[in-house]
């Protein structure tokens, strides 16, 4: 019968214990040399699983679909749906997909985010953050157009001040500073028309006189030539 103390495994364990006690630094170095490759292998294996290494899927064409339909198609392809942007277009259905990124047909990894541009369900709005009353009509129109307003009408009303915006309405309702205005709104500006306008500078007065003079001459009808016989004929 083999003695437990003479068993090969016991001898190896005893040798390892003596080595550990006599050379602890060397023992730790040996353990690190063995452990590092194992840890690297486990890490690479985890990364492959996490990033779906080698797995591929194709981005389906969901353009012109409604958002809910597009999301179902992308989910079936193991892709995530993200609304990247929205536009307002009266010629298209609300929620309709008008652009896709990555483009349809692109080969991507499963779980990839696909960004959709859809038609918004309500028109875009902006906040009136500057007062438009008591400004010139040119300034008011320029501000409104810069925010996407296209339906702008001006109504002249008697006033002591020429070309001064007296009130502003959106779709027939008065608006004030801080109100939200849809870009599809019809804007009506009431602009002052003075009987005797007051000009800030002499140049403004001269330009106004020249403009009125030009309008007067352009509106006059040219005299018709006299075709009656002359006494000298």
- Give the DSSP per-residue string, 215-229: HHHHHSPPPPP--SP
Per-residue burial over 169-206, b if 16 or more Cβ lie within 10 Å, else e, is bbeeeebeeeeebeebbebbbbbbeeeebeeeeeeeee
Residues 6+ apart with CB under 8 A from 95: 66, 67, 68, 118, 119, 121
Q: Where are the domains of the chain?
A: 4-42, 57-119, 125-199
Fold of 57-119: Trypsin Inhibitor V; Chain A (3.30.10)
User: Residue 80: beta bridge partners?
Assistant: 113
Q: List the chain pLDDT tens, one digit each, 233 residues.
A: 445 555 556 665 666 677 666 667 776 777 777 778 878 777 776 666 665 556 789 999 999 999 999 999 999 999 999 999 988 887 889 999 999 999 999 999 999 999 999 998 888 889 999 999 999 999 999 999 998 898 999 999 998 888 999 999 999 999 999 999 998 899 999 999 987 665 556 566 556 656 655 555 554 455 555 555 544 44
Of the CA atoms within 13 Å of residue 199, those in its CB half-sphere come to 9
Pick the CATH number of 125-199 from 3.90.1150.10, 3.50.50.100, 3.30.420.40, 3.30.10.20: 3.30.10.20
Parallel, antiparallel or unpaired: strands 180-182 and 113-119: unpaired
Model pTM score = 0.45
User: So what's the pLDDT on residue 196?
Assistant: 67
User: Residue 161: beta bridge partners?
Assistant: none
Phi, psi dihedral angles at 194 (to 5 degrees): -90, 140
User: So what's the pLDDT on residue 89?
Assistant: 82
């Amino acid at each position: 019968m083999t003695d437990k103390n003479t068993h090969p495994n016991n001898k190896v364990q005893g040798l390892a214990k003596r080595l550990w006690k006599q050379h602890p630094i060397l023992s730790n170095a040996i353990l690190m040399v063995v452990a590092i490759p194992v840890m690297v292998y486990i890490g690479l294996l985890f990364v492959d699983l996490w990033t779906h290494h080698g797995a591929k899927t194709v981005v389906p064409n969901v353009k012109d679909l409604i958002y809910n339909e597009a999301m179902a198609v992308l989910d079936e392809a193991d892709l995530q749906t993200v609304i990247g942007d929205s536009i307002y277009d009266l010629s298209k259905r609300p929620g309709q997909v008008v652009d896709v990124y990555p483009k349809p047909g692109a080969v991507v990894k499963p779980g990839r985010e696909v960004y959709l541009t859809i038609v918004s369900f309500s028109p875009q709005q902006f906040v009136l953050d500057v007062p438009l009353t008591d400004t010139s009509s040119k300034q008011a129109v320029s501000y409104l157009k810069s925010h996407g307003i296209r339906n702008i009408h001006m109504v002249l009303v008697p006033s002591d001040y020429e070309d001064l915006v007296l009130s502003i309405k959106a779709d027939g309702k008065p608006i004030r500073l801080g109100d939200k205005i849809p870009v599809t709104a019809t804007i009506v500006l009431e602009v002052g028309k003075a009987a005797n306008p007051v000009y800030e500078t002499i140049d403004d007065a001269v330009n106004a006189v020249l403009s009125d003079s030009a309008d007067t001459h352009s509106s006059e009808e040219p005299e018709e030539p006299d075709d009656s016989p002359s006494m000298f004929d």
